[in-house]
A = this chain, B = another copy of it.
Amino acid sequence: MTSTPRTFVDEKHADQRWHERSWAYQLRPFRGMLHDVRRRLPWYLSDWTTAFHKANLYRVLAASLRMFFLNLAPAVSYLLDMNRRTGGTYGINEVLLASALPLVVFSIFSVQPLTIVGVTGLINLFNYTNYDIVTRYEGVDYLQFQAWMLIWAAIFHILGAIFNFCDFTRFITDMTSTTFGLYVGVIYIQKGIELLVFEFSSSAVDGWLAVLVAVLFTVIVYLVERAGQASPVPFWLRKFIWDYGFICGIIFFAGFVHIPGHLKDANLSKLPITKAFFPSTERSWVVPFWELSGKWVAVAIPFGFLLTLLFYFDHNVSSLMAQARHFPVERPAGFHWDFFLLGITTLVSGILGLPAPNGLVPQAPVHTESLSVMKLVQVDGEEREIHTTTSGTGPTQMKVVRTRVVEQRVSHLVMGLLTLGTMTRPLLVVLGLMPRALFAGIFILVGWASIEGNPIIHNSLFLLRERRTVSLDHPLLSVPKKQIAKFLSAQWFVFGASVAISQTVAAIGFPLIFIALIPVRYALLPRWFTERELALLDAPTANAPDVLQSIGGELLEINTDRKLRSGDATPKAPADVEVVAMEDGSMAPVVHSEDVVAGVGSAR
């Protein structure tokens, strides 16, 4: 398309391996941020112009529309929960602004505009748990406390970015990220069911109808998207379903409940809306955070720290997903700069009293997916290794290949502008016509997709599977069943613990669990598993060259202290693991190990 700009290389340290670098280099202030910007700057102009190339424009617009829905629908779903559980502090206007703000900021100022930032389920959990805690005490204003928590978090973010802490994301492995993916999926479904249970509080009719709408939405969209992957479906129709299946489902069911007769009579509860552009409660946009007592300002510090841990993990994993190796992404990543930018949006959210946005684990990779140009080609061995998605189940083994990703900033900005547009009165009224039950369905659909495609599930099924039905080149066949079971038990245990803790007031501590898993992975697991086993069961999540450029150079050979020292570091693990995921693809064909954490297999 455009000629490739010469990329900045940190010449002095380019030949140094990660473990050879000094701590002074590692902690040198602004080193990461500066390098990130330097690397990306030469691409900046074409980041805008590429979008308008006639080969790209349709893709950009289709992706904008799809991501607008996929970003906003779960955010609004969480709002319904957050609104109820924080005494109405957060309303639709706050969520819309908290969605629009980072979209505009990140599309223009980020290094890597593929990563979508928005309101997640975990910030919802954080917010209402804080509400439960804070409202136990007299004389403290919840929003002011939230503001301070976010101010502290912003400071930690900025410090983390300055001192290159994002380099450590290279240590995140699939053990952590897939457990996190499963956790997010289950929490989504739980929220969906809670929303539906709440619908019974007005009347049983509304309750049953709400359940019905949610079930029908989930099942129909799921089955249509499943059917849309089958080989008898013409390729143009498959592409259409990928792009618009989810959107059509939402529009249809939003209208469905307004059909006159029994449906309209039931008068399902709709999304509560308030005056456009104003905060949902009687307040000005700026939270008077300066009124909070010093004691509570101090109390907010650990909360801000926990939030920073959450965002560090959640945002960087999202970003890794959006640039995973199976996407043919070519433009450089920028973890440090983007984390700094996240600090800024966190600060602004605190001051304006918004739920703080961060990287969206499910949506970020779907953005890249939506921007991928797909092609249907015959399987003939040669192309097999790069960027395949579906292996057609048909007799001729056609497969869908991602030829390239339309990398640009326009789709991101358009999403932001659409979201801003939704804040105006006319579109707000349209939102107000949507039944809550539909949002419950969205929860269940997105959550289920995350569970269905998760490697923990696939590997657990692998254990149940009869050996004779397994392909002889299945990588896991070389790992003893007992070892797989041991590894999975650890994952299931952590998963169970994090779900359990989320139900208590200790919920805000859950990021600690996931962060703690990272050192555990390097300290304990090598005692229980061989190198080869870990390479097959637990590859590093950061595995694409463009990503590694930003976070410290070469691909990390995990669990190979000896090897790292001896300098023998051929990156073989990730390729293997990708095959694992392809294999399991027989059940959910499009899903890759990396997608899996993404968790919107069905929404794509």
Binding site for B on A (CB under 8 A): 200, 203-205, 207-209, 211-212, 215-216, 219, 230-235, 237, 262, 265-266, 376, 378, 392-396, 398, 461-462, 464-466, 468-474, 583-584, 586-587
Q: Choose one: B205, B234, B235, B396; the contact of A471 (CB below 8 Å).
A: B396
Instruction: Give the residue name and chain of the B residue nearest to A474 (CB).
Output: B395
A49 vs chain B, min Cβ distance (A): 34
B215 & A583 in contact (Cβ 8 Å cutoff): no
Q: Choose one: B219, B464, B465; the contact of A215 (CB below 8 Å).
A: B219
**Residues in B neighbouring A586, C-beta threshold 8 A:** 230-232, 393-395
Q: Choose one: B215, B235, B393, B470; the contact of A396 (CB below 8 Å).
A: B470
Q: Choose one: B200, B234, B262, B395; the contact of A207 (CB below 8 Å).
A: B262
A466 & B235 in contact (Cβ 8 Å cutoff): yes
Alpha-carbon distance between A392 and B205 when the two chains are bound, in angstroms: 44
A189 vs chain B, min Cβ distance (A): 15
Given contacts A208-B262, A230-B587, A395-B474, 13 further A-B contacts (CB under 8 A): A204-B262, A208-B266, A211-B212, A232-B462, A232-B465, A232-B469, A233-B461, A234-B464, A237-B464, A395-B471, A396-B470, A396-B472, A398-B469
Alpha-carbon distance between A471 and B495 when the two chains are bound, in angstroms: 44
**Residues in B neighbouring A212, C-beta threshold 8 A:** 208, 211-212, 215
A234 & B398 in contact (Cβ 8 Å cutoff): no
Alpha-carbon distance between A23 and B466 when the two chains are bound, in angstroms: 59
Q: Jot down 30 A-B pairs with beta carbons below 8 A, ordered by A.
A: A200-B262, A203-B205, A204-B262, A205-B208, A208-B208, A208-B209, A208-B212, A208-B262, A208-B266, A212-B215, A219-B219, A231-B469, A231-B586, A232-B465, A232-B584, A233-B465, A234-B466, A237-B464, A376-B469, A378-B468, A393-B586, A394-B470, A394-B471, A395-B470, A395-B474, A395-B586, A396-B468, A396-B470, A398-B468, A398-B469
Alpha-carbon distance between A583 and B232 when the two chains are bound, in angstroms: 11
A204 & B396 in contact (Cβ 8 Å cutoff): no
**Residues in B neighbouring A204, C-beta threshold 8 A:** 205, 262, 265-266
Alpha-carbon distance between A239 and B216 when the two chains are bound, in angstroms: 29
B262 & A583 in contact (Cβ 8 Å cutoff): no
Instruction: Give the residue name and chain of the B residue nearest to A212 (CB).
Output: B212
A464 & B393 in contact (Cβ 8 Å cutoff): no
B464 & A232 in contact (Cβ 8 Å cutoff): yes
**Residues in B neighbouring A473, C-beta threshold 8 A:** 395
Alpha-carbon distance between A471 and B394 when the two chains are bound, in angstroms: 8
9 smallest CB-CB distances across A and B, nearest first, come from A395-B471, A208-B208, A208-B209, A212-B212, A205-B205, A232-B461, A232-B465, A398-B469, A204-B205
**Residues in B neighbouring A203, C-beta threshold 8 A:** 205
A200 vs chain B, min Cβ distance (A): 6
A309 vs chain B, min Cβ distance (A): 36
**Residues in B neighbouring A396, C-beta threshold 8 A:** 468-472
Alpha-carbon distance between A207 and B200 when the two chains are bound, in angstroms: 16
Alpha-carbon distance between A232 and B463 when the two chains are bound, in angstroms: 9
Alpha-carbon distance between A228 and B349 when the two chains are bound, in angstroms: 48
**Residues in B neighbouring A471, C-beta threshold 8 A:** 394-396
Alpha-carbon distance between A212 and B212 when the two chains are bound, in angstroms: 5
**Residues in B neighbouring A376, C-beta threshold 8 A:** 466, 468-469
Alpha-carbon distance between A67 and B203 when the two chains are bound, in angstroms: 41
**Residues in B neighbouring A262, C-beta threshold 8 A:** 200, 204, 207-208
A227 vs chain B, min Cβ distance (A): 8
A468 vs chain B, min Cβ distance (A): 7
A505 vs chain B, min Cβ distance (A): 28
Q: Choose one: B200, B235, B393, B465; the contact of A393 (CB below 8 Å).
A: B393
Alpha-carbon distance between A130 and B583 when the two chains are bound, in angstroms: 58
**Residues in B neighbouring A472, C-beta threshold 8 A:** 396
**Residues in B neighbouring A378, C-beta threshold 8 A:** 468
Alpha-carbon distance between A348 and B169 when the two chains are bound, in angstroms: 80
A427 vs chain B, min Cβ distance (A): 30
Residue of A212, A237, A464 contacting most chain B CB atoms (<10 Å) = A212
